[in-house]
Amino acid sequence: MSEKATINIFIFKRLVSFARPYKSLFLFAVLCTVTLAVLGSFRPYIIGDMVSKYVIKSKDGDKLIFWTIVVVGMLVMEGILQFSSSYLSNLLAQSVIKDIREKLFGHVLSFRMRYFDSTPVGALVTRVVSDLEAVTEVFSSGLIDIAGDLISLVFVISLMFFVDWELSLMTILPIPLLIFATRIFARAMRNSFQLERQQVTRLNTFVQERITGISIVQLFNRQKQEYKNFEEINKGHRQAHVNAVWANSIFFPIVEMLSSMSIALMLVWGAVYASGKTADQVEGMYAQIISFTLWVNMLFRPIRQLADKFNILQRGTVRAERVFEIIDLNDHIQNPGTVTSCDFNQTIHFKNIHFAYKDENWVLKNISLDIEAGSTVAFVGATGAGKSTIVNLLGRFYDYQKGEIFIGDSNIRDIELSYLRTNIAIVLQDVFLFSDTIHNNITLGDNSISREQVIAAAKEVGADVFIQKLPGGYDYQVGERGGVLSVGQRQLLSFIRASVYNPAILILDEATSSVDSESEELIQKATEKLTKGRTSIVIAHRLSTIQNSDKIVVLDAGEIMEIGSHQELLLHNGFYRKLYDRQFSDEKEAK
């Protein structure tokens, strides 16, 4: 994707509108920057005037000291203004970005699952973190600085022409050259920046994936190969940076050269002018040359920087556009419902549910099923049969296309989404833990849940013993993705999570599948405790764990094949019987 050298005005306006709550901060920052530009432009004039009047023409020591103090005062003022302008514009930038980031993240958090199915994590992280960084620069060093630079240019050029138009023309002669060079290098820089960004993304993605998948890398002895790949990518990364640095390094000497040329031209002009002039006229020239030498720098610096600043604005606007794209995306569950009081202790009715993740590839076909309040229903079936999908529909993580789901008399589409979800707890096979304490991983930051409640729940599911053994107990810091905890232990933590939230409806999706036999016993007991008297859906691979369920639902390819108790289904001699016999003989073989 190439970033063109234009700025999308609509996006830019929208971006600037985020500064509206900080209007006074913005105005104050602009005021400081503008005052600084004006004050700075006048200083060379005053110095030139001072030299001409009190050094060259009359040797008036007192006046000279007075004006020197004035100039020093101006310098101090400029210092203060410089500080204020930089501090205020950065404060403004960070405040604005904080708002945008909050808006963005809050928005992303509520997207429906379908969005996350098709968006890579890395891309989202880039949006929320690094893209926004580029947007920050628009406010911290783009927008306000450009105003300062432009005003400074206008004042410097006006003052120069006011003092001596011929000398001014001489001085600005190299400027077209500077503008030309700036354009060329701005383009070169833009290209190398783009390359740099691609390489950075490549490096990040590579490192992130290899570290996340480190166990596979080591297990299959891929270290050498992966290291080679890394070297390759790392080389590309260096090259991209070197290109950028090269463009940068050659540009600044050229600017220096041009500004020296400007001063040289001025001196040549002075020499030509001086020949055949009276001593008095030539003396006036000295003072002017002092002023002009100071002005030359004030002229060249902003012109050179304007290109940089324009790049910053442009880059920030392009990134802002991508951020806004996400903010504008309305990928939420449609119709989030309004009912906020309903009895979840009622029968759940699935009525002729049809569902497809994509188009018309039906993953669930005509699912009709009642789950009585307080009962435990088990879903069994091959991998991909649609067991997890049914559960996802109940929590409205996806919206079904046909049919209805009722809890008692309430259609779940009418129930407010967050209310619905607080009454349903889902324990998954793969437990995600945040890098935080055990306690916080259980409460998920809900401060109304006390330590006593957590401990009681842990005791209930039989996890208290192992947690107490950890250094720091409940304050033990869990590493990212669970760190040193075993699968079974992580599973138990998610049981505690479910228990303290005390939901009306509990769903266990293959919660026992990948657990060692020691933990399995604990988890089996915990399951019995948690499902007792609570409407529960248990999805299990091992049929031994669900034999006592009130109802067993056998699914195949998205359809219900059989429903009944363990005994009934065995007698029925159908799908369930086959599954059961197969597992039974497998277990025998294993022994």
Catalog residues that contact Mg ion under the rule CB under 5 A: 388
Asked if 387 touches ligand ADP (CB under 6 A), the answer is yes
**Beta strand pairing call for 348-356 and 362-371:** antiparallel
**Residue 564, beta-bridge partner list:** 552
Residue 145 CB, nearest distance to ligand ADP (Å)? 47
Residue 536 CB, nearest distance to ligand ADP (Å)? 17
Question: Where is 287: in which H helix or E strand?
Answer: helix 279-328
In the complex with Mg ion, which residue's Cβ is closer, 258 or 385?
A: 385
In the complex with Mg ion, which residue's Cβ is closer, 345 or 513?
A: 513
By the 8 A CB rule, do 353 and 168 touch? no
Residue 394 CB, nearest distance to ligand ADP (Å)? 12
Strands (E), 408-513: 410-411, 424-427, 505-509
Q: Find the angle CA(404)-CA(408)-CA(410) to the nearest 5 degrees.
A: 55
Q: Name the one range near ligand ADP by CB under 6 A: 227-235, 313-321, 384-392, 514-522.
A: 384-392
Q: Among 73, 122, 384, 533, indicate the residue that binds ligand ADP (CB under 6 A).
A: 384
Residue nearest to Mg ion (CB): 388
Q: Among 102, 117, 256, 516, indicate the residue that binds ligand ADP (CB under 6 A).
A: 117
Can you state the angle between helices 143-163 and 165-172, rounded to 10 degrees? 140
Q: Among 153, 385, 457, 560, indicate the residue that binds ligand ADP (CB under 6 A).
A: 385
Asked if 498 touches ligand ADP (CB under 6 A), the answer is no
By the 8 A CB rule, do 269 and 166 touch? yes
In the complex with ligand ADP, which residue's Cβ is closer, 314 or 389?
A: 389
In the complex with ligand ADP, which residue's Cβ is closer, 178 or 515?
A: 515
Residue 384 CB, nearest distance to ligand ADP (Å)? 4
For the chain, the farthest-separated pair of C-alpha atoms sits apart, in whole angstroms, at 125
**Residue 506, beta-bridge partner list:** 425, 536
Q: What would the two tokens of residue 505 be?
A: 């409806």
In the complex with ligand ADP, which residue's Cβ is closer, 127 or 541?
A: 541
Measured from the Cβ of residue 53, the count of other Cβ atoms closer than 10 Å reads: 15
Q: What would the two tokens of residue 77 be?
A: 């003022």
In the complex with ligand ADP, which residue's Cβ is closer, 389 or 545?
A: 389
Q: Among 140, 171, 388, 535, indicate the residue that binds ligand ADP (CB under 6 A).
A: 388
In the complex with ligand ADP, which residue's Cβ is closer, 8 or 513?
A: 513
In the complex with Mg ion, which residue's Cβ is closer, 424 or 455?
A: 424
Residue type at position 228: K
Kindly identify the residues of this chain, within the stretch 37-66, that bind ligand ADP according to CB under 6 A: none
Number of residues near ligand ADP (by CB under 6 A): 11
Q: 337 in the Ramachandran plot: left (φ > 0), alpha (ψ -120 to 50) or beta?
A: left
Distance from C-alpha of 527 to C-alpha of 511, rounded to nearest angstrom: 9
- Please choose, from the candidates 519, 582, 549, the residue with its C-alpha nearest in 3D space to the C-alpha of residue 382: 582
Residue 387 CB, nearest distance to ligand ADP (Å)? 3
Distance from C-alpha of 8 to C-alpha of 188, rounded to nearest angstrom: 21
Residue 543 CB, nearest distance to Mg ion (Å)? 16
Kindly identify the residues of this chain, within the stretch 350-369, that bind ligand ADP according to CB under 6 A: 357, 363
* Binding positions for ligand ADP, rule: CB under 6 A: 117, 357, 363, 381, 383-389
